[in-house]
C-alpha cells in the first residue's frame, strides 16, 4: 500500500516520502507503523532489488480493510499443499528439524564450540493407541500458524527432539504475546518482522516491533547460511517476512526481549 501512519508522530506517510527520511529516523519510525485505515500493525519495505518501489504492507489488515488489496503483491504465498494436513491431524505433531537438508550445513557441526543441535531421541516404541503422528518441518508449521486461523489455539501435542511435549497453543508463541511467562523457556516464537538492523559483533537483529517487542538475534556466523537458505540477498528483505524460531526467550540487561537463532535449521521464513 502507498500510505501508512506512524504512531510515534501521528503522521501519515506516502511510501516514497517515508523512504527519504534519514536513516536513523526511518529505523525508528518503521517499527511503529500502522495501517491508516484498519490500524493494524504495518511495515515498510524499501525499494527492492528487482525494481519494486518502496511500499508499506500490513501484518496483516483487519478483515474488510480496503487497503488490503494494495498489499496483494506482498502477501504470503498460497497455502498450497500444506492445508491438506489440517483435517487429518492426529493427536501429535512431530517437528522435523531439517538439518542439512538444503545445504551442506552439517559441516558446521564439526566446528569446535559450535552450538549444539538437539538430536533425535531414541525410538521409544509405537505411537500409542489411537494416535497418529504428523511429521512437519518448520516452514509448513509457520504457514499453518499464519494462515490457518485456529491452528495456533489447538491442543494438539507438539514434539520437538529433547524437549518436553507441549500443546500447540502453549508451544507456539506469537511475538506480540511473548512476555514474562516465557522467560528462559524454549518455545516456537513466530510473527511478522518489521525490519532487520545491524548490531554489535556483526549480529543482525530481526525485529518484530518496537523496543518493547521481542527481537531475534542472528549471530554473524549463521548469517550466510540463513541468507542463502531463504534466498535473501539484502537485509531489507526481512521486512514484512513471517518468521518462526525455535529457541529460548531471554531478557537483556536493558529489558529487551530477545531470542538467539542458534542454527539455521531452527528457523523458518516466509
Ligand atoms: Zn488495513
By residue range, what is the domain housing residue 154?
A: 85-112+131-269
Q: How far does the centroid of ligand 1 lie from the alpha carbon of residue 136, in Å?
A: 32
Q: How far does the centroid of ligand 1 lie from the alpha carbon of residue 69, in Å?
A: 9
183 & 248 share domain: yes
In a domain, 120, yes or no: no
Q: How far does the centroid of ligand 1 lie from the alpha carbon of residue 30, in Å?
A: 16
Q: How far does the centroid of ligand 1 lie from the alpha carbon of residue 35, in Å?
A: 5
pLDDT for 210: 86
Q: How far does the centroid of ligand 1 lie from the alpha carbon of residue 113, in Å?
A: 46
34 & 67 share domain: yes
Q: How far does the centroid of ligand 1 lie from the alpha carbon of residue 84, in Å?
A: 29
Contact indicator for 6, 28 with CB cutoff of 8 Å: no
135 & 250 share domain: yes
141 & 226 share domain: yes
145 & 257 share domain: yes
Q: How far does the centroid of ligand 1 lie from the alpha carbon of residue 43, in Å?
A: 11
Q: For the stretch 9-48, what's the b/e string if a residue is b when 16 or more beta carbons lie within 10 angstroms of its beta carbon?
A: eeeebebeebbebeeeebeebbbbbbbbbbeebbbbbbee
**Interatomic CA distance for residues 260 and 175, integer angstroms:** 14
242 & 140 share domain: yes
Q: 175 is written with which cell numbers?
A: 511475538
Q: How far does the centroid of ligand 1 lie from the alpha carbon of residue 171, in Å?
A: 29
**Interatomic CA distance for residues 166 and 184, integer angstroms:** 16
pLDDT for 189: 98
Strand pairing class (157-159; 92-96): parallel
Q: How far does the centroid of ligand 1 lie from the alpha carbon of residue 242, in Å?
A: 18
56 & 173 share domain: no
3-class DSSP assignment, residue 69: helix
**Interatomic CA distance for residues 174 and 172, integer angstroms:** 7
Element (H, E) at 87: helix 84-88
68 & 91 share domain: no
In a domain, 155, yes or no: yes
93 & 69 share domain: no
pLDDT for 268: 93
Render each residue's pLDDT in the chain as its tens digit; 270 residues. Answer: 878 899 989 888 888 788 889 999 999 999 999 988 888 889 998 887 777 778 888 878 888 887 876 665 554 433 333 333 343 345 688 898 866 544 433 333 333 444 444 444 443 344 444 456 778 889 888 988 887 767 888 888 899 988 999 999 999 999 999 999 999 999 999 999 999 999 989 999 999 998 899 999 999 999 999 999 999 999 999 999 999 999 999 999 888 999 999 888 999 998
Q: How far does the centroid of ligand 1 lie from the alpha carbon of residue 229, in Å?
A: 31
Neighbours of 122 (CB within 10 A): 6
Amino acid at each position: 500500500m502507498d500510505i501508512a501512519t506512524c504512531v510515534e508522530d501521528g503522521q501519515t506517510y506516502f511510501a516514497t516520502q517515508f523512504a527519504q527520511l534519514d536513516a536513523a529516523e526511518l529505523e525508528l519510525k518503521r517499527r511503529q507503523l500502522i495501517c491508516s485505515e484498519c490500524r493494524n500493525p504495518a511495515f515498510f519495505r524499501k525499494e527492492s532489488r528487482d525494481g519494486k518501489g518502496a511500499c508499506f504492507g500490513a501484518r496483516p489488515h483487519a478483515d474488510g480493510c480496503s487497503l488490503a488489496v494494495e498489499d496483494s503483491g506482498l502477501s504470503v504465498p498460497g497455502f498450497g499443499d500444506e492445508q491438506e494436513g489440517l483435517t487429518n491431524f492426529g493427536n501429535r505433531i512431530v517437528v522435523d528439524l531439517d538439518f542439512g537438508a538444503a545445504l551442506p550445513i552439517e559441516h558446521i557441526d564439526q566446528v569446535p564450540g559450535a552450538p549444539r543441535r538437539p538430536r533425535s531421541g531414541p525410538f521409544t516404541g509405537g505411537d500409542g493407541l489411537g494416535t497418529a503422528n504428523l511429521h512437519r518441518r518448520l516452514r509448513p508449521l509457520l504457514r499453518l500458524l499464519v494462515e490457518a486461523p485456529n491452528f495456533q489455539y489447538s491442543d494438539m501435542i507438539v514434539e520437538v527432539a529433547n524437549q518436553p511435549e507441549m500443546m500447540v497453543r502453549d508451544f507456539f508463541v506469537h511475538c506480540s504475546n511473548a512476555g514474562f511467562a516465557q522467560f528462559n523457556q524454549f518455545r516456537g516464537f513466530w510473527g511478522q518482522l518489521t525490519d532487520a538492523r545491524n548490531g554489535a559483533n556483526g549480529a543482525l537483529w530481526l525485529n518484530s516491533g518496537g523496543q518493547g517487542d521481542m527481537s531475534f538475534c542472528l549471530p554473524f556466523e549463521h548469517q550466510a547460511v540463513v541468507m542463502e537458505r531463504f534466498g535473501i540477498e539484502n537485509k531489507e528483505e526481512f521486512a514484512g517476512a513471517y518468521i518462526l524460531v525455535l529457541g529460548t526467550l531471554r531478557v537483556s540487561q536493558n529489558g529487551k526481549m530477545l531470542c538467539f537463532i542458534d542454527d539455521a535449521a531452527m528457523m523458518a521464513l516466509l
